[in-house]
Amino acid sequence: MLTTAFFLIVGLAMLVYGADLFVKGAAGIADMFGVSPLVIGLTVVAYGTSMPELVVSALAAMDGSSAIALGNVVGSNIANIGLILALTALISPPHVDGGLIRREVPVLLATALLLPLLLLNGVLSRIEAAALIGGAILFTIATVRYAVKAPLSDELISGTIDEVGRGATSAAPWKLMLVGLAGLGLLLLGGSWFVDAAVEIAAAAGVSERVIGLTVVAVGTSLPELAASVVASVRGHSAMAIGNVVGSNIFNVLFVLGVAGLLSPIVGDTSQLWPDLSVMVGFTAIAVLVLRGARSISRAEGVLMLVLYVSALLWLSGSLASVSEL
């Protein structure tokens, strides 16, 4: 058991560090080819912070562990709002950008409602997965096109440029390529160790893979988003911190689950999935409420979201344990 826990922790560390290296290498190469910091931030960085979720869900799906693949996405989306957005508000109450309400928030709500609908028949097919990936591509194109036309007074856009500019590098192309490849290697190996260890721990502890996916795996793979949001908020780019959470939730459903489902259809019993899916939709509704209009998310709202998150995890663990006994 200690050996399994060791591989879980080391695998998680490799996932987080690998994602960071991958983003730095890819962003550096894109910068050398003349890609604007804005486009890098909205594409390479946005997808890069979701790499741990992508690798874990993809490997879990190919291993036949649909519960972990799906639980990782659902649990990460819950954690992004109930944990990451809440902690960001507690550290430095972020200001909500008005443009975010018009652009990303409706898509956030739509993707949260779409997932339960896709699983009504108990399976996410490869065709549906391909459609999700298509949606991710269209969303990315639309976001970049808006950003190119947007004035720099848009807090989310200017914050993205500044944050990506901090990571600019003058390293040689071959060094950047090695950094990116090293990051990818760490992601794949760390993800494999992490998934295998999570499955073993679930079996040894007598809990379902869904519980592990919704808790340990989901929180672990959300660490890059947590770090990015907290750092951006502390540096004064609160809109970017919020945008990171919202964008991550959208990418998790469209891109992460799409790629995992394309590799291997995701199977899930809707009658057993309703607790975690309803909690995800509920937290998305909370996010829509706190992101209303041009305002700041208060520390009181951050405390409330954090309390609700802990309560939801306790309730889900009890509900899933009861379901597994049936």
Q: Which of 51, 98, 64, 75 is nearest to 251 (CA)?
A: 51
Greater confidence (25 vs 168) lies with 25
Most confident of 36-45, 210-219, 316-325: 210-219
Look at residue 221 in the predicted model and tell me its pLDDT.
Answer: 81
Among 181-185, 307-311, 317-321, the range scoring the smallest mean pLDDT is 317-321
Mean of per-residue pLDDT scores for the chain: 81
What is the number of other CB atoms lying within 10 angstroms of the CB of residue 303?
Answer: 13
Burial call 48-59: b when 16+ CB within 10 Å, e when fewer: bbbbbbbbbbbb
Q: pLDDT at residue 261 above 90?
A: yes
Highest averaged pLDDT of the listed ranges 21-35, 45-59, 81-95, 209-223 = 81-95
- The torsion angle over the Cα atoms of residues 8, 11, 16 and 21, rounded to 10 degrees, is 170
152 or 75, higher pLDDT: 75
pLDDT at 34 exceeding the cut of 60 = yes
- The dihedral formed by the CA atoms of 67, 73, 79 and 81, expressed in degrees to the nearest 10: -140
The pLDDT, as a whole number, for residue 92 is 80
State residue 324's pLDDT score. Answer: 47
Confidence of residue 326 (pLDDT cuts 50, 70, 90): very low
Measured from the Cβ of residue 244, the count of other Cβ atoms closer than 10 Å reads 32
Q: Is the pTM of this model over 0.85?
A: no
pLDDT for 18 equals 83
Compute the average pLDDT of residues 12-28: 79
Q: Which band of pLDDT confidence, cut at 50, 70 and 90, is reported for residue 135?
A: very high
Most confident of 115-129, 147-161, 293-307: 115-129
The count of other CB atoms within 10 Å of the CB of residue 148 is: 12
Cβ-count burial of 314 within 10 angstroms (0-12 exposed, 13-18 middle, 19+ buried)? exposed
Q: For the chain, which residues make up each domain, given as ranges?
A: 2-325
CA 271, 276, 277, 281 torsion: positive or negative?
Answer: positive
CA dihedral 306, 311, 313, 319 (to 10 degrees): -160
Over the stretch 193-246, which tens digit does the pLDDT of each residue have?
888 888 788 778 777 777 888 888 888 888 777 777 777 667 666 666 777 788
2-325 maps to CATH 1.10.10.10: no
pLDDT category at 279 given cuts 50, 70, 90 is: very high
- Residue 102: partners with Cβ closer than 8 Å, 6 or more residues away: none
Phi, psi for 23 (deg, rounded to 5): -65, -45
Residue 252 has what pLDDT?
Answer: 93
3-state secondary structure of 121: coil
Question: Tokens 């009890």 appear where?
Answer: 318
Q: Is the pLDDT of residue 187 over 90?
A: no
